[in-house]
Amino acid sequence: MAKITISHLNKMKQAGEKITMLTSYDASMTRLAETAGVDTLLVGDSLGMVIQGHGSTLPVSVDDMVYHTATVARVSQSAMVIADMPFMSHGTQQQALDTAGRLMKEGGAEMVKIEGGAPQVETVRHLTERAVPVCGHLGLMPQSIHQLGGYRVQGKEAQAADQMIADALALQAAGAQMLVLECIPQALAQSITQELAIPVIGIGAGKDTDGQVLVCYDMLGMSVNRIPSFVKNFLADTGSVQEALSAYVSAVRAGEFPAAEHIPA
């Protein structure tokens, strides 16, 4: 089974083929997701909430991320493995390089994801110039939840939307090879997706991004947290976790998910 690379994802974007991404935090979910045909697996710091029971992603440590990334990468045979850089693990360029190095060398990640726009551009450049593949993350940024004042749609005002477009272009220019857009208006997500040459993955950002990502426990209706309105419970209409994951992959590839009811107002 061939390993999916960023070159493959770029070809999918160019061909208009939807990219599928799910979070995974362990070996068993990784096997199930890859059997369903998921293209990319995100070892998200969302594990702080869905695995560890915290109220936010902020308590997650680099050690936590290395451990869970390793459990995913150890059994992954096809999907590209991306690991989140947790809160306060990239305050300086050297710290960011050290964190990324651990996630890749000890954890086996093939790309790291870092939240933030303009303030992170030089850090992204520093990483990519040293052979670290980077995925950016704009919109609702869980690590900045106390600054944002809650989990709500970002980029609704014209100035904020313009800044997000500028940040996306700057991250790409700095070497980012992928971008996640979380909880932003569909029209803005569409504009950013069209502006960028790199793959853009949406979560609560409408149907016009190059692909979709969901937290695995959310789309199975298993989360201990409030499940966001942009999530569909794929387990509710299927008979097993495996069938639910396959249904998600099929729905994303066919452009059937997200539907109108999963697009934030």
Catalytic residues: 182
Q: Give CB contacts under 8 A, 24+ apart, made by 57-66.
A: 57/86, 57/87, 57/142, 57/143, 57/145, 58/87, 58/143, 58/145, 60/84, 60/86, 60/87, 61/86, 62/86, 62/89, 62/99, 62/102, 62/103, 65/89, 65/103, 65/107, 66/102, 66/103, 66/106, 66/107
Measuring CA to CA, which residue among 191, 183, 192 is closest to residue 258?
183
Measuring CA to CA, which residue among 87, 74, 83 is closest to residue 40?
83
Non-local (6+) Cβ contacts of 188 within 8 A are 155, 161, 164, 165, 205
